[in-house]
A and B are shown apart, each in its own frame.
Chain A
Amino acid sequence: MNFEAIKAIYLFEMARMRRTLLQSVISPVLSTSLYFVVFGSAIGGRIQEVEGVQYGAFIVPGLIMLTLLQNSISNASFGIYFPKFVGTIYEVLSAPISFVEIVIGYVGAAATKSLILGVIILATAFLFVPIEIRHPFWMVFFLVATSITFSLFGFIIGIWADGFEKLQLIPLLVVTPLVFLGGSFYSIHMLPPFWRDVTLFNPVLYLISGFRWSFYETADVSVGVSIAMIFFFLAICLGLVWWIFRTGYRLKA
Chain B
Amino acid sequence: MPNAISISNLSKTYEGGFTALHGIDLDIRDGEILALLGPNGAGKTTLISLVCGILNPTTGTVNVQGHDIIKDFRAARQLIGLVPQELHVETFETVWATVNYSRGLFGKKPDPALCERILKDLSLWDKKDNKIMQLSGGMKRRVMIAKALAHEPRILFLDEPTAGVDVELRKDMWQLVRRLRENGVTIILTTHYIEEAEEIADRVGVINKGRLILVEEKKELMRKLGKKQLTLELVEGLPELPEALSHYDLDVQDGGRRLVYSYDTQAARTGIGSLLADLNRAGIAVKDLDTEQSSLEDIFVSLVEEAR
Q: Is the beta-carbon distance between B102 and A96 smaller than 8 angstroms?
A: no
Total number of B residues with any Cβ neighbor in A under 8 Å: 35
Which residues of chain A are near B235, meaning CB under 8 Å? none
Q: Is the beta-carbon distance between A94 and B97 smaller than 8 angstroms?
A: no
Q: Is the beta-carbon distance between A5 and B106 smaller than 8 angstroms?
A: yes
Which residues of chain A are near B108, meaning CB under 8 Å? 4
List B73-117 residues whose CB lies under 8 Å from chain A: 73-78, 80, 82, 84, 86, 88-93, 97, 100-109
Q: Is the beta-carbon distance between A95 and B89 smaller than 8 angstroms?
A: no
Q: Which of A7-15, A49-57, A121-129, A175-183 forms part of the interface with chain B?
A: A7-15
Contact of B107 among A2, A15, A88, A92 (CB under 8 A): A2
Contact of B77 among A7, A9, A96, A252 (CB under 8 A): A96
A100 shortest CB reach to chain B, Å: 12
Q: Is the beta-carbon distance between B109 and A252 smaller than 8 angstroms?
A: no
Q: Which residue of A lies closest to B110 (CB)?
A: A4
Say yes or no: is B54 at the interface (Cβ < 8 Å to chain A): yes
Say yes or no: is B147 at the interface (Cβ < 8 Å to chain A): yes
Say yes or no: is A25 at the interface (Cβ < 8 Å to chain B): no
A179 shortest CB reach to chain B, Å: 30
B111 shortest CB reach to chain A, Å: 11
Q: Is the beta-carbon distance between A5 and B107 smaller than 8 angstroms?
A: yes
List A64-100 residues whose CB lies under 8 Å from chain B: 86-88, 90-98
Q: Is the beta-carbon distance between B56 and A253 smaller than 8 angstroms?
A: yes
Say yes or no: is A46 at the interface (Cβ < 8 Å to chain B): no
B160 shortest CB reach to chain A, Å: 14
Docked Cα-Cα span, A95 to B75, in Å, equals 10
**Given known A-B contacts A94-B80, A252-B56, A4 and B109 have beta carbons under 8 A apart:** yes
Interface size class of A (residues with CB under 8 A): 20 to 34
Q: Is the beta-carbon distance between A252 and B105 smaller than 8 angstroms?
A: no
Q: Which residue of B lies closest to A10 (CB)?
A: B104
Task: Point out which of A9, A16, A97, A248 has the most chain B C-beta atoms below 10 A from its C-beta.
Answer: A97
Q: Is the beta-carbon distance between A96 and B88 smaller than 8 angstroms?
A: no
Contact of B82 among A5, A7, A90 (CB under 8 A): A90
Docked Cα-Cα span, A248 to B86, in Å, equals 22
Q: Which residue of B lies closest to A3 (CB)?
A: B107
**Given known A-B contacts A4-B108, A91-B105, A96-B107, A19 and B73 have beta carbons under 8 A apart:** no
Q: Which residue of A lies closest to B54 (CB)?
A: A93
Docked Cα-Cα span, A87 to B90, in Å, equals 9
Which residues of chain A are near B147, meaning CB under 8 Å? 91
Which residues of chain B are near A16, meaning CB under 8 Å? 92
Which residues of chain B are near A253, meaning CB under 8 Å? 14-15, 55-56
**Given known A-B contacts A86-B88, A90-B88, A95-B77, A8 and B55 have beta carbons under 8 A apart:** no
Say yes or no: is B255 at the interface (Cβ < 8 Å to chain A): no
Chosen A-B contacts, 5 in total, with CB atoms closer than 8 Å, are A8-B104, A12-B97, A94-B80, A96-B78, A252-B54
- B residues near A, CB below 8 A? 14-15, 52-56, 73-78, 80, 82, 84, 86, 88-93, 97, 100-109, 147
The 9 closest A-B pairs by CB, nearest first: A8-B104, A87-B88, A96-B77, A96-B74, A94-B52, A95-B105, A2-B107, A96-B78, A4-B107
